[in-house]
Amino acid sequence: MLKDFILKNFGVAEDIFLQALIESPSAQGYIIGAISELLLGNYLKDKGFEVVRIKEKPSGGNDAKNAEARGDFYVRKRGVTGDDWLVIESKGLKSNSEFRGGKLDSPEKVINFLKGRVFNTKKNADTVYQKGYQTYLKVKEQWELKHSDQKFPDFKWRKEFPGCESCSLDNIWENEAALKTWVYSLDKSYFTEKAYRDVEGAISILETHQPSKRVGIITNIDQAAPLVCDFNIMSVDLFLRTGKHEFVFMNPEEIGHSPSSPEHLYQNYIIDILVKGLKRDVIIKRPWYRDVDDCINITKPCYRRIDRSQIDGRLV
């Protein structure tokens, strides 16, 4: 069956198809993304939701795409009537978060990356909040000088989880000296691109991947990230770092928005960080949720009216 499918749709034998797939990380990414969507749909149905697929590209081009239906699924609990639904977007993790630009290719770089995320976390969170707020104020002032008759969107960060990181690295190292001792004890192979690609590096970063060039509706600010209003809930498949298709969820209205454009999300968020031999299990904390019902019940996203022109006829 698979052999016939490959021959019919790709015109090659299985060995050629497999070789092409192995040599194309981007093709693998598309397939993993498709699998994530399929499994997410199954998860949502198992949780008692009615699930309707949203068209990726409606006929008529970009102008036909509803700004409030930029996710993958409309969902609502079975038995609910009316036209109010939630829009869920399905995403995965960045595959190159650790090694792009040689970011973590030495013990010194790993130490510098970790220490601010391990020690003095309350003070560091306060610093992140203040830095983000100052960035916001500067942009707000400049924007309002040019738009004196309009109001710049509010700054909505929560001090409990400011910015774009939510990792939990408590109680792994007693102090910075212990962190350094551990990092320098690692074999140099743990800092290579190959090790990071194989999820065998010194650390593994669970970082979202959501490139999407969007223009703010109010501010007209153009950034390479989704708008907060594009969807109600984002689902992220952790497969690329945990080896299991498991989902976590966030409400874009609760998580930290871009400090320079409150209408935009960040392009990437760090959900958690795993540590070679010391922290194998992902810790999920607010504003991320392991259960979609918890995400909905706690954050209370605003339902939106379904647009029938955006519905994809493919079964979920």
User: Mean pLDDT in the chain?
Assistant: 93
In a domain, 211, yes or no: yes
Q: Identify which of 202, 203, 206, 225 has the alpha carbon closest to the alpha carbon of residue 214.
A: 225
8 and 133 inside one domain: no
Which percentage of the chain shows pLDDT scores above 70? 97
pLDDT band at 32 (very low <50, low <70, confident <90, very high): very high
32 and 107 inside one domain: no
pLDDT tens, position by position, 256-269: 999 999 999 999 99
How far apart are the C-alpha atoms of 19 and 292, rounded to whole Å?
A: 37
- How many other β-carbons are positioned within 10 Å of the β-carbon of residue 56? 10
In a domain, 168, yes or no: yes
154 and 291 inside one domain: yes
- How many other β-carbons are positioned within 10 Å of the β-carbon of residue 231? 26
Q: What mean pLDDT comes out for the span 116-131?
A: 90
166 and 142 inside one domain: yes
Residue range(s) defining the domain that contains residue 31: 2-87+305-310
Instruction: Tally the domains of the chain.
Output: 2
77 and 114 inside one domain: no
Residues whose CB is less than 8 angstroms from the CB of residue 170 and which lie 6 or more positions away in sequence, other chains included: 118, 121
218 and 263 inside one domain: yes
Query: pTM for the complete prediction?
Result: 0.92
166 and 281 inside one domain: yes
Q: What mean pLDDT comes out for the span 254-283?
A: 96
pLDDT band at 64 (very low <50, low <70, confident <90, very high): low
pLDDT of residue 63: 55
79 and 123 inside one domain: no
Q: Does residue 61 register a pLDDT over 70?
A: no
35 and 110 inside one domain: no
pLDDT tens, position by position, 124-157: 899 999 999 999 999 999 999 999 899 999 999 9
199 and 289 inside one domain: yes
49 and 110 inside one domain: no
pLDDT tens, position by position, 71-110: 999 999 999 989 999 999 999 999 999 999 999 999 999 9
